[in-house]
């Protein structure tokens, strides 16, 4: 079982398959078509835990993946399972893994990464265990790797000086000064819209459509579309995502990136609308610039809002009835979470509104569960919008 079927996980799959191993994977951001191409059957996390004889982790450390393997998850695994963690130490609960190794629930483990590095012997339970193989977070920190990198760089520079193609070169499309002057104010808006989109979307992303109106119709907007993709991929990937490699990463993940120009926004002279299609539905975000510089979100899934896309905020579609705002504010206040701003977005559909609440900090899971239990709340999404 491979948890995280990105660049590293997919290469691990190829090597496992060379030994005739059946490979299954868990990665909510990989389309099923990509899984079929890799020969990896994509499943949810619980089935992977229950079916796997070997479990290897290849995920970035995010709020979603921190301690994603704890005592409950280990309890769902086969007796005698073997675990390999070579991504980030904090994705596994160290004490839970140590206890399972002592009892034999986990037969053995290979660990290259630790919550605190360098490893402190007095705080690590694995050093005295004979069924654990430890390595010091090697990564590329071997003499062979360092020499290989130096040789590759030197060969690339020499090839460029000879006017020859450079196999390892990564190039971005050129942008004229005029085009840059038009689109530059929109970069931050587009990246933040993509950032929001990954928190809104559920399931595997198959298509991202970016629609431009107004002054953006007649200019080159590919860099802005790349900004959307960069903002969407950065929070979920361990590798650095930038304006050069973002399109290639999206292509490898079989995300269909499309641009639409034309049409007219009913309320704004120039607007950018991002639509995210997944196997579980579609979400749409519209953003504009106020006074040509201030990024604002003006529509989310048809609800009219006026949000500055920065920091933490939650979005809560709900039934249009008295008391909804009061209940929400009470729970947040009791949890010591300050509300920086609140508004209610309306839509053309009668009977439903959407609360948009700007928060001082993130919401703990127990508080989130209380909010979701409010009668009349249809859904809640917590957004952490930042410039990557």
> In terms of Cα–Cα distance, which of 178, 177, 156 is closest to 167?
156
Of the residues 58, 88, 192, 204, which is catalytic? Answer: 88
At residue 388, the pLDDT reads 54
246 plus 335 within the same structural domain: no
Answer with the residue of higher pLDDT: 386 or 134: 134
Can you give the residue range of the structural domain that contains 272?
A: 172-309
φ and ψ at 199, to 5 degrees?
Answer: -80, -30
165 plus 244 within the same structural domain: no
> 262 lies in a domain?
yes
> 90 lies in a domain?
yes
> 250 lies in a domain?
yes
Q: pLDDT tens across 353-385, in order?
A: 999 999 988 899 899 999 999 999 999 999 988
Of the residues 7, 82, 137, 384, which is catalytic? Answer: 137
Mean pLDDT of 189-213: 93
Is residue 87 predicted with pLDDT exceeding 50? yes
> 142 lies in a domain?
no
> 81 lies in a domain?
yes
The CATH number of residue 352's host domain is 3.30.70.260
The CATH number of residue 57's host domain is 3.40.50.720
Is 253 annotated in the active site? no
11 plus 127 within the same structural domain: yes
What percent of the chain is predicted at pLDDT more than 70? 94
The CATH number of residue 303's host domain is 3.30.1330.90
Last residue of a domain, one of 275, 309, 343: 309
Of the residues 117, 215, 239, 334, which is catalytic? Answer: 117
Is residue 236 predicted with pLDDT exceeding 90? no
181 plus 249 within the same structural domain: yes
Answer with the residue of higher pLDDT: 146 or 40: 40
At residue 113, the pLDDT reads 92
126 plus 155 within the same structural domain: no
> 62 lies in a domain?
yes
Mean pLDDT of 66-89: 96
Is 117 annotated in the active site? yes
260 plus 187 within the same structural domain: yes
Is 15 annotated in the active site? no
User: pLDDT class for 170, splitting at 50, 70, 90?
Assistant: low
Last residue of a domain, one of 280, 309, 338: 309
> In terms of Cα–Cα distance, which of 193, 158, 166 is closest to 387?
193
Lowest pLDDT segment from 81-85, 171-175, 264-268, 285-289:
171-175
123 plus 23 within the same structural domain: yes
At residue 214, the pLDDT reads 92
Answer with the residue of higher pLDDT: 266 or 71: 71
Q: pLDDT tens across 242-256, in order?
A: 877 889 999 998 999
Last residue of a domain, one of 72, 106, 134: 134
> 239 lies in a domain?
yes
303 plus 369 within the same structural domain: no
Helix axes 365-372, 324-334, angle to 10 degrees: 160
91 plus 107 within the same structural domain: yes
Number of domains in the chain: 4
- Strand order across the beta sheet in which 381-385 lies: 256-261, 205-212, 272-278, 281-290, 294-300, 303-307, 339-346, 352-359, 311-319, 381-385
Q: Report d(CA 254, CA 206) in Å as an integer.
A: 7
Q: pLDDT tens across 291-316, in order?
A: 888 999 999 998 899 999 999 989 99
25 plus 98 within the same structural domain: yes
Is residue 165 predicted with pLDDT exceeding 50? no
25 plus 95 within the same structural domain: yes
At residue 385, the pLDDT reads 83
pTM: 0.68
323 plus 287 within the same structural domain: no
Q: pLDDT tens across 309-342, in order?
A: 999 989 999 998 889 999 999 999 999 999 988 8
> 140 lies in a domain?
no
């Amino acid at each position: 079982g491979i948890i995280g079927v990105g660049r590293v996980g997919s290469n691990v799959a190829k090597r496992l398959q060379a030994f005739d191993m059946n490979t299954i994977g868990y990665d909510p951001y990989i389309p099923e078509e990509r899984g079929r191409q890799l020969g990896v059957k994509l499943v949810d996390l619980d089935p992977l835990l229950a079916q796997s004889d070997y479990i290897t982790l290849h995920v970035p450390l995010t709020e979603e993946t921190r301690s994603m393997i704890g005592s409950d998850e280990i309890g769902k695994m086969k007796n005698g399972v073997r675990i390999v963690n070579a991504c980030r130490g904090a994705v596994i609960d160290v004490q839970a893994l140590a206890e399972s190794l002592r009892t034999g629930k986990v037969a053995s483990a290979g660990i290259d990464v630790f919550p605190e590095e360098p490893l402190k012997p007095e705080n690590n339970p694995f050093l005295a265990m004979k069924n654990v193989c430890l390595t010091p977070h090697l990564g590329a920190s071997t003499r062979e790797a360092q020499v290989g990198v130096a040789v590759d760089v030197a060969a690339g520079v020499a090839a460029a000086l000879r006017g020859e193609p450079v196999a390892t070169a990564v190039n971005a499309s050129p942008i004229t000064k005029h085009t840059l002057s038009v689109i530059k104010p929109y970069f931050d808006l587009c990246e933040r819209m993509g950032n929001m989109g990954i928190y809104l979307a559920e399931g595997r992303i198959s298509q991202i459509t970016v629609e431009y109106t107004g002054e953006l119709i007649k200019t080159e907007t590919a860099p802005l579309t790349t900004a959307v993709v960069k903002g969407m991929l950065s929070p979920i990937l361990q590798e650095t995502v930038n304006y050069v490699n973002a399109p290639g990463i999206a292509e490898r993940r079989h995300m269909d990136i499309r641009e639409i120009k034309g049409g007219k926004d009913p309320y704004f002279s120039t607007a950018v609308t991002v639509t995210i299609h997944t196997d579980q539905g579609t979400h749409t975000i519209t953003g504009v610039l106020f006074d040509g510089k201030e990024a604002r979100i003006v529509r989310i899934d048809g609800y009219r809002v006026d949000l500055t896309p920065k920091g933490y905020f939650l979005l809560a579609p709900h039934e249009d009835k008295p008391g909804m705002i009061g209940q929400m504010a009470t729970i947040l206040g009791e949890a010591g979470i300050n509300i920086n701003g609140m508004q209610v977005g309306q839509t053309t559909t009668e009977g439903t509104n959407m609360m948009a609440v700007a928060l001082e900090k993130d919401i703990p899971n127990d508080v989130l569960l209380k909010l979701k239990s409010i009668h009349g709340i249809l859904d809640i999404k917590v957004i952490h919008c930042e410039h990557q």
